[in-house]
Every structure is written in structure tokens, then in C-alpha cells.
Chain A
């Protein structure tokens, strides 16, 4: 028997989003984690071609077969995520699960730090510094790695581990080209 929140879960996960244990959908996370629900839901979603996967305190859908175009698109998006993660990792406060970032605070840090400024200029085309920060934070929020708590605050989700894991799998070869191992 699938839980009553199945539709809600599907609605979130099918958009490529994550359900993290520390986000506003913590109840859904608990629902999936509850007793046999994960198994039941995994089987249930498998029937319609979605593979429910569990990470470190988060759930997501994976696809076994993907078209090359899709894959390319995802890789492109991922490349952007890497740049954004690189930016966040250079901040005074590192993107650890649960960290709360304030847009104004990041903008101030960028204003004071030339390196950060260069990085954010490279990853966002917005005019104002705060808009740039919103842009990059929004990008991670759209991916489900951050969650906007209020107008000025973003919180790092457990799903950030997904990004970290994937990034850690990247090997850089001698010729400087990146390749997914």
C-alpha cells in the first residue's frame, strides 16, 4: 500500500528535484523513510519507469537510459553547478548541510573579495551583485541543493551531498580535460 503522500512525492521528484531530510519537505522524507515505504515506493515508481534512489538523507529519481541530448544537457547544467559550487566553496562559510546563506552577506563578501567577485562575474550575467548572488543561489535552489527560506536566506540541503559525490568522482587527466569516471 503506497502512502497517501505518493502523488506529492512524485510531483517533486519527477521534476528532477530532491527530497531532503532538512528541507521543508522533511515530512515527505520521513514518509519515504518510514518502515517499508521506500521499498514499496521504489517498486511502485519502477512500474512507471522512475527509479527511486536514496542518498545521504535525501531521495531522488534516477534514469537508467537517457538520450544523448538529455545527457549533454545535464552535463552542461552540471558544469554550471560545479562552477557555482566552486564559488560557494570559496566563501568564508563553506556549503555544509544546514548552512544558511544570506544574499546580502554573500554580496558583501564578494564586494570585498576580488577573487570571489571574478568568480561570480563568470557564472552570472546579472547586473547587480545581489542579483548575481540571487541568480547563483537560485540555480542551486532550482536544483534542490539549496532551499530559499525567506527573501534573503537560502539553506543548504542534504542533497548537496549528491553534488559533492558527483564532483568527487570527477578525475582530471594530465591533458587537463575533465572526464567522468
Chain B
């Protein structure tokens, strides 16, 4: 039975271009075949046994995948037969969509797979296994599981028997090394490759530091940090404040705009209503005015008519007077007075003529009887006397009649005048009475008006509206005060709550931090202890045992404590191996626990402690972040609420301010309206009082006038009476004078008659005495008769004129006075009419003025509203602003506005102008603010350049919210966590990576030792191959290490929850430094362009090879040591050494009875002796070589198995063994 485990045989069934091939490879194997014959296909299949990784087989992307190329049919199988101490088992690989493995506990039996030269399907194969009662495993579906089974790392005990070797946790280094060697087809071996192999052997990919990830994390951190830093910049904070202020201004302007728009809407509706109302009132006034004017016109016309009539009458009187005057003058010119006198003397003259003629006839009749004569004379004289007395009596009567006539005429005239006066007085009195009545009515009306005015509530609607507004403001104030108190209380309680949360968190954080610190310190102590042990173990008893006493754990390890194990002063010496005694005493340690630990266990413990520490660190960061987040979220919620309350408070303040202003305005307005109302009342009362006064005055005037009129009537009547009396007395006087004259003429005539009687007596006596005739007497009588006749003729001549005169006198001259009186009366009438008309006119003017005054107020109001509406229609409605505010203007309820529509429109325009100005500033500030941040900043401070007003306002709201909720704290906490995590992650990774350094050094030492053994003593070809490691020059690693060092130096000081805290200078410096370190790292990563930092980056590896007289010196790359063959050989030696070291590192030391293959293609150029030495070199290390040769040569004789590749007539490749016997090298 074999005492080794090895891949014994590989069988291809329907694989690639092979229908069936079987190659035994349980030793050094050589494949000979020209190109494209399938050597590499087979070698890859062998490699697949070790690696079970279809991607690491060196198949290029342009080629078919492993599965597609190898497993083209459902009955394609690769079978690996493994030889073990117990026998053989085989692994079948087949494809069912994906590759599947089954371990079969029996050697490969071709008959189970191929029936009638035809491979059967896997199902049938299994049936056959069952039929043959062969144990086979479940279907293994993953490469990982397969590898675990092959490398003895599968936990399932059933599969332990299928292990090729017993690998430790690093077993994967074996397939990796085999793969690396197979794939490394370069002529030169670079230190990088060896480094890689070393790295692979001691680490997993997990230990690599993915720089892309780190760089991404760093970039994210830096960007976020930069965003926060930008946020805290002085200018930005100021700008943020300005934006807030600006936004509140804009909001206020908008509120004002809305209020103005609503006011305008209300004012427009009110104006429209008022316009109609006032229009009606104005029309009413106009009607009244028209009626008044019409009435006045009618009165004026009546007045003019009456005046015309009177004037006509006056004109008629005037013409009569003029005519009388003219005729008077004419009569005067004609000496009417004399003519009248003469006409009056006509009767006397006629009597005188008769008497003279009688006298004359008597005288001339002959002196007959003187007695008779004289008697006749005496009779004549007596007759004359009688006639004279009769005439006088008649004249006296005439005079008396005339006097009586005059008297009666005067009486009549008086009556007439009296009547006329009374008539006139009655008419005037009637007029006055009419006026008086009217005035009294007016007075009553005025008194009623006074009462009305006193009762009337002026501007009731306006005042009521204002009072309503004031009441509302008052109510709002009360509401606001209550709300304000509540909100202040809420804010205060929120502040306390926030403080409480902070305090609580502070305490929790302190507790957590101190606990965390303690735990970490504890772990650090443990790690330190382990590290101390590890650092000294090589020189201590432990190292000695490791080196010289395998399996010591089972014996010494059970009885020796750690103190002894790591004591350096024990100087242990191995005297006798395998002697199971303790100072000569044998102990049964079977049931004693092993106390000592292996190096790996220490490493594991250390790494688990590190993990614990990292968990604690992570917990710390998590706790801090969670706490910061929670605190922030709670504070944000509080801040939000508080900000909301503050906002509401500021809104309340603003409202209060607005209301205060409004209240002031309303109070002013109210006072104004009240003052206006009072002044209006006063004005109206004054007007009424004035009217009353005027009416009183007028009434008094009218009464006075009436009284005056009565008195004047009385006076006039008295005057008239007096005048009549005067005229009567004058007439009496004239009468008396004329009577006196008449008496005088009677007396004279009587005296004359008496004288003549005496004369006649004397004459009679004389005649009687003389009896003769007297001529002179006759002559004188004749003359006397002639003269009388002449007088009478003259009288007769002027009789017509006298008659005319008398008629005119009767009709005109005697009526002059009456005419004058009539004229006077008419003049007076005109005057009265004029006076009345003037009073009417005055009243009309006054009424008109009053009406105009009253209507002007309405007109003024109407004009105000009409102008406002017109302005609105012409200048506002067409503007875009109206469209914007239409929704506010149109639904507003009617409301008077003190400002008026025009002023409101102007204010809206000016408000809009100001709004736009402010908005532009606001927009610019936001642009400037956002411009300071990265375009994609994590604080979300960005705005589209073409954003509309709403977006800018939303941004401002967001900014306000950001400030209010102090959202920056969340970002800070996040960044601080990122920062802490980054540093922790970097430090942990660097630590994990650098922890490999010791193992690397050990490995290098081992390799060097192994190289030392590759002396090729027989040929002395290679004098030595040396290897050394130096510190890494990788800049990124250096930066990473700096960060790790920083983390080490400042385990708790860096990365506080607030990286931007400037209060603690020392901490701020540390934070600053840590950020700088991260920035440096980011910069270096982007400059150096590495993808990751691997274990191999921890050190630089140098080779030194001496071949013959060629000494390479310390080189990084083994390029050309000597000839091509030598190079190949050196390469192969290094590969084998590497593989050997890795196998040792990766497997349990207790089970080393296995052999693996090292597949190196194309070794044709190595000379036969060297190949022999190489094979032997490999065999010493339990490694069999599988090599490829293009042609048959003598080289293949050095291998245990040599196969040639040929194609049969069907084009199927056949693997034909050339030598079936193993030749001892």
C-alpha cells in the first residue's frame, strides 16, 4: 500500500478533442507533443484538479470558457483518480448547466462510464455505481466546497477520506502557487511575482487595501468635509443670513402685495358701488338744481313781465305828464292866465255892455222925462246892482262849488290813494306773508334738519367698517397675545427639552466612551501581551520547541505554563528525543488539556482581539453617530418645532406690527372720519344754524318789513290825509282869497254903484236944474260900449283856446299830481318787484350754492372713484401685474380704502418694483451662495440657473429649514463618523497588513534556507540564490502608515463628533492634522494610480544569484542569469522552492505524506543533467514535475511518466504513454 497521497491519474472522456484519454501522473511526468496537440489542455485539467477555478487557468477572454471547451457534451467527464494510503478514490466532474463534482470511493473503472465505446450519461453512471454498491458523495456544486474537500478543510467528516492533504486556513496558497507557476510564462522572474506568491501564501484578498474604495471613501469624505467647511465660511454664513433677511423681506413684500391687491380689489368694488350710488345722488342733485333753475327762470320771467307792464304804465304816465307839461308851456306861451281872466270877465262885460247900451239908449232917447230918465237910471243902476249882486252871488256859489269840487276831488283822490296804498300794502303784505310762511316752513325744516343732524351718524358705514376692523384687530391682538404666550412657553419647554437631551446624551456618551475606552485598553493590553510573546518567541523556550520538538503541544505543552514557554533564559537543549518523561517521571497526559497555544493560535487570538477592538471602535463610532443622529434628529425635530414656533412668533410679530400699523392707521382713520363726521356735523349744523339765523333774520326782516309796511301805510295814509288837509286848506285859502276878492269887488262895485247913484242923484238934480243935454257923457258911453264890445270880441276869439285849456286842465293839468303819484306808486311797485326778485334771486343763488356745495361733495367723491376706476382700467388692468394678482383682486369684498384706487395701484407698482429689485438681490445672493459649494454638494445647496421664482423661494425655505433644524449637525456627525471610520478602517487595514510583516520575514528566511539547500552539488551550477527584504518604497503605503501611526498616537482624541469645533484648540489641531493626512493620502492615491495595497507592497524583495562566476548582485528581477537553459533552471528552482515553502506553510505539519504536482510547461531548453538535478530537487520537496516538451528528446527519460500526444484517424487526440516504467533518476 502506498504511504502517500497523490493525484494518480487523469482521465478525459469526451473532453475537448479527446474521446478517451487516460494518463497516470503519480510521478514526474512529461508530455511530448507538437503544438496544438492538447498538451496545455491536459496540463490545465491537472491544474484544475488543484485550483478548481475556471478563471485562473490562463484561458484568454477570446477563447472558449473552460466549461464550454472541455465539457461539450452531457457525457463529458474529467476524472481524477487519487491514490491514498487506504486505496484509491476518484473524482468525476461533469456538466449539468454548471460543473458538478462527485467523489467516488473506488478506483476509476472505465466500464462504469463507457458502454459499447460510448460514454453514458452521469445519471446512468450513478446507477452503475449503485449497482456495484460503490459509495459516492452527494453532488458537490461549488468549487469552494470541492477545494475544501480536496484540501481537507471541509467540516463534513464523511468527506475527510477524500482529502489529498490536510491544509490549514491558508491551504488556498497551494493551488494559488501551482496556478501562479503554471501561468508565469515569462522568461524573467520578477521580485513582484515572488512577493505576490509570498503574499498569497500568508494572506487572503481580504487583507488587501482596496485603494479605489479608500479613494472613493476619501473623496466622499473630502467632498463632504469641504461642503461643511464651505458652509462655515464667514462669507457664506453672512450670505445665508442675508438670504434669510431678503427672503423675509420678499415674503413681507408679497404679503403687502397681497394685502394691497385685496385692498385694491375691495376698493374697486366699493368704488363701483359708490359710483352708481353717487351717480344717482348726483343726478338727483342735478335734477334739483334744474328744477330750482327752472323755477327761478319762471320767476325771473314773471318778474320781467311784471316789470315790463309797470314800466309800460310808467311810460304811459310819463308821456301824459310830458304832454301836460308841453301843453302847459304852450298855454303859458299863449297867455292863458289873462285869457282865462278875460273869459271870466265876459259876463261882467256883457252886463256892463247891456248897462252902457241901455244908458246910452236912455241918454240918446231924448231927455224926456228927467225923472223918468233918472228913474230909469236909478232902476238900471239898481238892476245893475242886483245883477252884480247876482253875479257876485253866482260867482260866490261858483267859488263855493269849485271849492266843494276841489274838496270832494281831494277826498276822492285821498280815497283813491288810500285804496291804492292799501292795495299796494295788501299785496306787499301778502308777499311778505307768503315769504314769511315759506321762511317759517324753512325754519321748521331747518329745525328738523338740526335735530336730524344732531341725531345723524356721519360716515356711519366707514366708521363702522373701521370699528369693525379695529375690533377684529383687537380680537386678533388678544388671540395673538395668547398664542404668543403659548408659543413662547412651547419654545422654552422645547429649549429645556433640547438641553435635557443634550445633557442626557452627554452623560450617556461619557459613560459609553469611558466603558469603551476601558474595554479597548483591556484588549490593547492583551494584544500587547500577545505581541510581546510573539516578538520573543523565537528566542524563548517556545521557539526552541517549535524548531526542535514537533508535537510538543501534546506533551510539554500540557505541563508547561506560558511564563516558562516564553522565558528566554531557560537555555533548552534537546538531549533525547521522544522520551515521554518529566524529569524522569512518566505522566499520562491523555486527559490533560493542552494549555499552550500554537503561533497560529496566538495570531488568531491577536486577530480576534484586533477584531474585537475594531468592533469596539466601530461600536464607538456607531454609537457616536447613532447618538449624534438621534440627538440631531430629536434636536432637529425640536429645532423644527421651535423654528416653526419662532416662525409663527415672528409671523405673529409681523402680524402684530402690521396690525399695529393698521390699528394706528385705522385709529387715525377713525379719528379722521370722526373728525370729518364732527366737522361735517358742525358744518351742517353751522349751515343749519346759519340758515336758521338767516331765516330768523329774514323772518325778522319780513316782520319788520311788514311792520314797516304797516307803518309806512299808516304814514303814507297820514301823509295822504295831511296832504289832503293841506290841499283842502289851500283850496279853502284860495276860496277864501277868491271870496275875499269877490267880496272886495262886490264892495267896490257896491261902492261904485252907490257913488253912481249919488252921481245920478246929483245929475238928476242938476238936469232938473239945467235941463239941458250933456254930449261928453254920450261919447264916453259910446267909447265905453266900444271897449266892452272889443273885450267881448277878444274873449270870443280866444274862447276855443280857453275851452281847450279848460279841457286839458281838466284832463291833464289837474291830473299831473295824480299821474306823479301813480308813477311814484308804479316806481315803488317796480322797486318792490325788484326787491322781491332780488330776494328770490338771492334765495335761488343761495339754494343753488347750497345745492352745488352739497353736490360738489358727491361729485368730488364720484370723481375720485371714477378717476380711480379709470386709472385702474387704463394703467393697471393692462399690465402683467394685474394678471398675477387677478386671483386676489377679483374675489375681494367691497371695502372703502383711504388710499384710493390710484394710490393703491401706484403702491402696487412700487411694491412690485421693490419686490423685483429685492428678488433680483435675493436671486443673486442665492446664486452666489450656491456657487460657493460644489455643484453636487451633499448639503443639497444647488439651484438651476434657469430656476423660476418658486424654486428660488423653495431654496430659501430649504435654507431656512436647514438653519432652523441645524441640519449641518447631521452632516457633521456623518462626516465625523466617515472620518473616524476611514481612519479606523485605514489603521486596521494597515495594521492587518503590516501584521504580516513578521510572517513575510519568516517566509523569506525559510525560502532563503530552502534556496541554500538547492546547491546542485553535483553540477555546482548555482553557487547560491539569496533573497532579502527591504522596507517598502510605496508612497501610498507610507501615507497609510502615517495615518495608522496617527491613529495609534491619538486613539481617542481624533474625530470628535464635531470636526469643526474650534473651541478646543488642541483637538482642533488634531482634527485638522487628521484631515490633512487624509487629504494627502487621497492626493497620493490619485497621483500614484494604484488599485490596491497588498501584502507584497509592504516590502521590497531583492535576489542575488551566483551562477558560476556570474554574480547578479541584489536585483529586483531575475532576467538573465546565464544561458536560456540556466535561466529556466533557476526559474524552476525558485518556483519549486516557493511551492515547497507554501505547502509547508499551508498544511498541517503532522500530515506531510502527500505529493503535489508543479506544472511547468516548455522545459526543453534545460540540459539533461540539470533536469535530472531539478527533478531530484523537486522530489526532495515532495513535488512532482509535470513538464511539456515540443519534441521527443532524451530529456523525457528522466521522468516517471512520458506521454506523447497523437491524433487518430477521427482527429481525436490520443495520449500515448511512451515509457511505462519509471526510471530512477
Contact = CB atoms under 8 A, between A and B. Distances in A.
Nearest to A109: B946
A99 B924 CA distance: 8
Nearest to A150: B935
B235 A100 contact: no
A92 interface: yes
B109 to A, nearest CB: 68
A164 to B, nearest CB: 12
B230 interface: yes
B233 interface: yes
A97 interface: yes
Contacts of B929: 98
B931 A22 contact: yes
B927 interface: yes
Given A21-B235, A93-B946, A149 B931 contact: no
Given A155-B931, A156-B931, A96 B233 contact: no
A30 interface: yes
Interface in A38-84: 57
Interface string A91-119: 01100111111000100000000000000
A97 B233 contact: no
A87 to B, nearest CB: 16
Interface in B894-938: 923-924, 927-932, 935
A153 B929 CA distance: 17
A97 B926 CA distance: 10
B230 A98 contact: no
B928 A96 contact: yes
B1076 to A, nearest CB: 11
A149 B927 contact: no
B928 A100 contact: no
B920 to A, nearest CB: 9
A140 to B, nearest CB: 15
Nearest to A157: B931
A122 interface: no
B234 to A, nearest CB: 8
A57 B928 CA distance: 11
B945 interface: yes
A149 B945 contact: no
Contacts of A105: 945
A97 B932 CA distance: 9
A98 B235 contact: no
A28 B928 CA distance: 19
Contact of A153 (B230, B233, B935): B935
Contacts of A153: 935
Given A21-B235, A93-B946, A99-B945, A149 B935 contact: yes
Interface in B746-767: none
B939 to A, nearest CB: 15
Contacts of A156: 931
Given A92-B946, A93-B946, A100-B945, A22 B935 contact: no
Given A26-B230, A149-B935, A153-B935, A101 B945 contact: yes
Interface in B481-518: none
A42 to B, nearest CB: 20
Central interface residue in A26, A30, A96, A155, by most chain B CB within 10 Å: A96
Interface in A1-24: 21-22
Given A96-B924, A98-B927, A22 B932 contact: yes
A105 B946 CA distance: 10
Nearest to A156: B931
Given A21-B235, A26-B230, A30-B233, A100 B931 contact: yes
Interface centre among B924, B930, B935, B945 (most CB of A within 10 A): B945
**Which of A100, A105, A155, A156 has most chain B Cβ within 10 Å?**
A100
Contacts of B932: 21-22, 26, 98
Contact of B930 (A92, A98, A101): A98
Contacts of B928: 22, 96-98
A98 B935 CA distance: 10
Contacts of A30: 233
A97 B923 CA distance: 11
Chain B CB count within 10 A is highest, among A92, A99, A153, for A99
A100 B946 contact: no
Contacts of B923: 96
B935 A100 contact: yes
Contacts of A100: 931, 935, 945
Contacts of B935: 100, 149-150, 153
Given A21-B235, A26-B230, A93 B931 contact: no
A93 B945 contact: yes
Interface string A20-36: 01100010001000000
Nearest to A30: B233
Contacts of B230: 26
Contacts of B235: 21, 57
A97 B946 contact: no
Contacts of A149: 935
Query: Which of A21, A92, A150, A153 has the largest count of B CB atoms less than 10 A from its CB?
Result: A21
Interface string A146-170: 0001100101100000000000000
A106 B945 CA distance: 11
A169 to B, nearest CB: 21
Nearest to A92: B946
A21 B229 CA distance: 13
Contacts of B945: 93, 99-101, 105
Contacts of A96: 923-924, 927-928
Contacts of A99: 927, 931, 945
B848 to A, nearest CB: 62
Interface centre among A97, A98, A99, A149 (most CB of B within 10 A): A98
B1151 to A, nearest CB: 61
A22 B235 CA distance: 10
A126 B929 CA distance: 34
Nearest to B234: A33
A46 B930 CA distance: 35
A167 to B, nearest CB: 17
A149 B230 CA distance: 16
A153 B945 CA distance: 12
A149 B942 CA distance: 14
A156 B928 CA distance: 9
A98 B923 CA distance: 11
Interface in A134-148: none
A150 B924 CA distance: 22
A114 B230 CA distance: 40
A22 B946 CA distance: 20
A166 B931 CA distance: 23
B880 to A, nearest CB: 18
A150 B929 CA distance: 19
Nearest to A153: B935
B387 to A, nearest CB: 133
Contacts of B927: 96-99
A24 to B, nearest CB: 10
A73 to B, nearest CB: 31
A84 to B, nearest CB: 18
A98 B931 contact: yes
Contacts of A93: 945-946
Nearest to A95: B927
Contacts of B931: 22, 97-100, 155-156
A151 to B, nearest CB: 13
Interface of B: 230, 233, 235, 923-924, 927-932, 935, 945-946
Given A21-B235, A93-B945, A97-B928, 5 more contacts: A21-B932, A26-B230, A93-B946, A99-B945, A100-B931
6 tightest A-B contacts by CB? A98-B931, A98-B928, A93-B945, A96-B924, A97-B928, A22-B932
Interface of A: 21-22, 26, 30, 57, 92-93, 96-101, 105, 149-150, 153, 155-156
13 contacts: A21-B233, A22-B931, A22-B932, A93-B945, A97-B924, A97-B928, A98-B927, A98-B931, A99-B927, A99-B945, A100-B931, A100-B935, A101-B945
